[in-house]
């Protein structure tokens, strides 16, 4: 897994290059992304996951959201996170988005960087 970032005036851009195969990989990935976020603490984040392969089973994403609740500080609910994924992951992206939103997170999945940026900049 390779996680890099660049902070600009509008938002923090985190790039991910990874092959995630299961729930353990999803959790490791989430921890790496969070560590990258902590370097800047910008409340608006684009996670560019276009070069990341995700597991196709839906169940690990529910557990992933539960991990956010149990292991990350409550302030992560203040982050507005736009995750950009490849079109083949739309179904899991929408599931993750719904599971996250139901738990109070402002996390959305997109297949377009432009749409992700537009949503992120809305007030």
**How many C-beta neighbours within 10 Å does residue 95 have?**
17
Structural domain span for residue 68: 2-7+15-121
pLDDT at 61: 95
Give the Cα separation of 33 and 28 in Å (integer). Answer: 9
* Whole-prediction pTM: 0.92
pLDDT digits (tens, 9 = 90+) for 91-115: 999 999 999 999 999 999 999 999 9
For the chain, how far is it from start to end, CA to CA, in angstroms?
33
Helix ranges (H only) for the chain are 23-38, 59-71, 90-102, 113-121
The CATH number linked to 84 is 3.30.750
Domain count for the chain, please give it. Answer: 1
């Amino acid at each position: 897994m390779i996680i890099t970032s660049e902070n600009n005036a509008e938002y923090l851009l985190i790039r991910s290059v990874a092959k995630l195969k299961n729930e353990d990989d999803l959790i490791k990935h989430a921890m790496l992304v969070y560590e990258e976020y902590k370097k800047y603490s910008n409340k608006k984040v684009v996670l560019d996951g276009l070069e990341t392969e995700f597991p196709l089973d839906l169940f690990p994403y529910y557990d992933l959201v539960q991990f956010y609740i149990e292991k990350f500080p409550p302030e992560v609910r203040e982050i507005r996170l736009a995750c950009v994924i490849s079109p083949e992951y739309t179904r899991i992206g929408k599931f993750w988005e719904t599971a996250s939103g139901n738990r109070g997170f402002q996390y959305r999945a997109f297949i377009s960087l432009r749409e992700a940026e537009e949503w992120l900049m809305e007030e």
